[in-house]
Chain A
Amino acid sequence: MPERVILCIGTKKGLFVAEAPKTRQRFALRGPFGPGVAVYAALIDTRGTPRLYASSCNAFFGMKVLRSTDLGKTFKETRSAPAFPKDDGRALANIWALEAGDTKEALWCGVEPASLFRSSDGGDSWEMVPGISNHQHARKWQPGGGGLCMHTILRDRDRVHLGISTGGHYLSEDGGKTFTASNGGVGAGFVPDPFPEFGQCVHKIAGHPDAPGRLYMQNHGGWPDRPGIGVLRSDDYGHTWRSISEGLHSDYGFPIVVHPHDPDTVYVVPLEPSTRTCPGGAPAVWRSGDGGGSWKRLARGLPKKESFFTVQRDAMDIDEVKSPALYFGTTTGQLWIGRDGGEEWNCLFDSLPPIHCVKVALV
Chain B
Amino acid sequence: MARAMTITIHVPAPLRACCDGASELLLSAPSVRAALLQLERSHPSLYRSICDETGAVRRHVNLFVNTSHVRDREGLDTALVPGDVITILPAVSGG
A residues apposed to B, CB below 8 Å: 59-62, 80-81, 83-86, 88-92
Contact = CB atoms under 8 A, between A and B. Distances in A.
Contacts of A89: 54
A84 B52 CA distance: 9
A83 B93 contact: no
B55 to A, nearest CB: 7
3 cross-chain pairs, A with B, having the tightest CB-CB distances, nearest first: A91-B52, A61-B49, A60-B60
B13 to A, nearest CB: 12
A92 B53 contact: yes
B94 A59 contact: yes
Nearest to A58: B49
Most buried by B among A61, A81, A83, A84: A61
Interface of B: 14-15, 48-50, 52-56, 58-61, 90-91, 93-94
Contacts, number: 43
Contact of B53 (A59, A60, A61, A86): A86
Contact of B54 (A59, A60, A81, A91): A91
B38 to A, nearest CB: 17
Contacts of A88: 53-54
Contacts of B60: 59-60
A59 B93 contact: yes
A91 B53 contact: yes
B93 to A, nearest CB: 7
Given A60-B58, A88-B54, A89-B54, 6 more contacts: A59-B94, A60-B49, A60-B91, A80-B48, A81-B48, A86-B54
A61 B52 contact: no
B55 A62 contact: no
Contacts of A86: 53-55
Contacts of B55: 86
